Structure 1
């Protein structure tokens, strides 16, 4: 994907209608490539010249095949079940993340697509255990130990992508080269999956405590750094000096491990809200998340119930896990730019967010009362278990 060849190259991005997929598409288009955004939903932003949107679903091979004619590289970003109540829809997670990935691989080999870059996740090796400066030599977390179906299926999909490296096209006239990038939590102005949910909790007055060890550290990655990593990975797959990235996985982050809640402090305070001083035990919040997941399974579909947190989100935000960038820096030439939440805060302010005088309605009162009651029940159920555990230790 160097400048000399980029004008002749067409790339396809599954999940191209989403936040990161669209940003990647814009970056590739600026480099002179023809970009096809493949997704079930069209981007909300206006597409620049040189980009084409094709509506389709990775669960349907026929729809993929209609879009890949002449494509040299696929960036497979599309996935389902990363956060919130989506994490609890096991069937769709399996269909999109595993069978969808199998369809992408099959489509590459059938249609002569020579490069496949897969967007994976830290979660393929992480399941709630402490990891400090981990690297790519860490084994996959055993599938039965994954605390959520999304992480399990992403691990399966990554395995399939890397196993497909070096396999021949169906016509025998070429070889598929593949690699996987494992990003940390993505942030940037306009991100639509995680940050709006966090801001909504802040504005509703639900962000009243933090949890876990104040010294716990996690990674984040700015969207532009993740774009850079994907461009470099595709270039490395086609590098004449030996397909550097072929069959490899890489952790990708900003390289600045930070406490999860301290990372979001500027977002809370610059929007005019008080940062919580109450810190609760991680085990209590995990138990709370477990019970809210159970509530979702019972009444979620009837009442459109959104869990405040899932168990996986508790681990991801409260347990130390960060990774070395040495392999990505050495083999891909990855050099993350330093970043912070300043531009994110400005984006939310421009959308009208920020602390305003509150007017409490009956709906607000009922909502807060329900949360207090639910948390009181959790506390009453959790305390006896904690006491029993302490008794056993003594």
Structure 2
């Protein structure tokens, strides 16, 4: 850092309680040669006694090295009161100002920055450094590969926040060298880190929902991410550069990244796996998901409601849909920026700070996942499950061939059930007679044993089934349980419809499905459940949408009936 006089060491961080603002304040105080004023819209500064940076800030406030000001950027007088006597203003805001509507966002973001510029000029502030965003050049329909500062603003912004930030950034740059005020702006890309309220929380929301089963978009898309401490470092570098290299920095804008482009899904999965979430395997085209999310957003816009999970999905879709990498050579050359925290270190610190969002169940081994198969539990986990889930392929294949042979023998041959049974018994008789003529060594393979425990269980199960059927019959005979009567009638009707009228066909389909459906479902359990969850969400949103359309009509009719009375 260039040596500066006492007055130039006094700075103000507008938006000092925001995600980037808090990190910037902490870094300025740790450098030791700054008197820092925090300013934000909150009436008072709320500090966490368990957070190390907040403890450090509280100590700095008590020693006079830091102070807090309540500032309304729509009120020029409050801005002047906070910045008077400072030589540099770091203006750091976030997208919370655009959470309500365009008008309030425009008032705080665009008109607010105009008030800040006017106040800086009136108070003879020397430097104004604005923290913008790389999204001002992103139109969400084209890839950006190694984009530099020659890129024009987007013609169609991906959201209201990006559009307003572009207007505010342009206003700051146009104010350069007016009334002695030097300005510049930084465009960090995809800022993450401890305290992040957008990227990682959105990923966790998606990972906790039905969308967790899918990789959204192409896993080949590359993105630039920026650790929050590197953004704070870049802002300080920009101030030093404005002091020593004014001509090459003032009125300019610079992209800021970690200088480590990475695959979007590689970054996201490293974050989620660090928090205990499983890696999805199936790829879902981003265009399909974008259409679904757009449909849900349209329905919510019609009902004037919002859904945080859908907003998170929308954020993730935007993040994963395109390649967005930026060239930071201008920042490296002109403001001498280089990352102070690597991407790996930043990811580790972020995961550690978000441990409260970790998945409740710890990671399990493949054997444990195998034991927890829903299909195996449904089938009882016994011999039937072993066969239908093809645990032993040889045994399952022989059983399948046996079932097919029996089905052909009893149903596909042109014989009655009685004739087929008689011929089968005759074959068994010949087989047993032939086996008796074999040697004792050979006949040992035909010796069957049933344990006493297995026999007792079989008898007990038979008795339980018999008692259950008799209980149902007694309940029906009393004629009091109409719910049970309805269930039995409906069950018998469907049994007649699907089995009695076309018994051979239905039985054949059921047998084939039993050897295929359970196995396929177990192999693609997560993907199938994810699709079911998405379909369920669409149906639920549609029902809410239709209900909201009917409710106003109902209320209107009720009010009309009251008026008629």
Q: Same fold (TM over 0.5)?
A: yes
Output the CA distance in 2 between the equivalents of 1:299 and 1:74.
Answer: 42
* Pairs within 5 Å for 1:248-263: 248-263=252-267
Aligned mate of 1:61, from 53, 64, 76: 76
Partner of 1:93: 105
Name the TM-score, length of structure 2 as normaliser.
0.58
**DSSP-derived class of the 2:36 partner:** strand
**In 2, Cα distance between the equivalents of 1:305 and 1:193?**
11
Aligned equivalent of 2:167, options 156, 163, 169: 156
Q: 2:130 aligns with which of 86, 103, 118?
A: 118
- Indicate if the aligned counterparts of 1:93 and 1:153 stay in contact, CA closer than 8 A: yes
Give the alignment of 1:363-382 within 5 angstroms: 372-375=535-538
Structure 1: tracts of 5 or more residues without a match: 169-174, 358-367, 380-394
TM-score (norm 1): 0.82
Stretch deviating more after TM superposition (200-209 or 113-122): 200-209
Alpha-carbon distance, 1:55 to partner: 1.8
| 1:355 paired residue among 341, 356, 360 | 360
**1:106 Cα deviation after fit:** 1.1
Larger Rg: 2
| Total equivalences in the alignment | 355
SS class of match (2:223): coil
TM-fit CA distance, 1:311: 5.4
The structure whose residues are more often helix, as a share, is 2
Deviation at 1:119, TM superposition (A): 0.7
Match of 1:30 in 2: 30
Match of 1:138 among 117, 128, 151: 151
Alignment of 1:237-256 (within 5 A): 237-239=242-244, 241-256=245-260
Instruction: Mark the CA change 1:40 to 1:371 in structure 2 (over 3 Å): closer, same or farther.
Output: farther
Distance, in Å, in 1 between the alignment partners of 2:162 and 2:237 is 25
**Aligned-residue RMSD, C-alpha:** 2.7
- Secondary structure (helix, strand or coil) at the match of 2:39 reads strand
For the Cα contact (< 8 Å) 1:293–1:310, is it kept in 2? Answer: no
Q: Please tell me whether the aligned partners of residues 225 and 258 of structure 2 are also in contact (alpha carbons under 8 angstroms).
A: yes
What secondary structure, in the 3-state scheme, does the structure 1 residue paired with 2:262 have? coil
2:91, 2:130 within 8 Å by CA — same for their partners in 1? yes
The change in CA–CA distance for 1:157 and 1:261 in structure 2 (over 3 A counts) is: same
Deviation at residue 295 of structure 1 after TM alignment: 3.3
What is the distance in 2 between the residues matched to 1:275 and 1:101? 43
What residue is the counterpart of 2:367 in the other structure?
A: none
Deviations 1:121-175 (A, max 9, x none): 1111111211111111112223xx223211111111111110000111xxxxxx0
Q: How far off is 1:111 after superposition?
A: 1.2
Q: Distance in 2 between the 1:369 and 1:87 partners?
A: 31
Structure 2 residue corresponding to 1:213, chosen from 197, 200, 218:
218
8 Å CA contact 1:184–1:219 kept in 2: the answer is yes
Q: CA shift at 1:249, angstroms?
A: 0.4
Residues 11, 255 of structure 1: alpha-carbon distance in 2 compared, 3 angstrom cutoff: same
Q: Say if 2:189 is the partner of 1:189.
A: no
Aligned pair partner of 1:307 in 306, 310, 331: 310
Work out which structure has the larger RCO, using CA pairs closer than 8 Å and 6 or more positions apart in sequence.
Answer: 1
Alpha carbons 2:206, 2:312 under 8 Å: kept? no
Q: Which runs of 5+ in 2 are unaligned?
A: 49-53, 363-530, 543-565
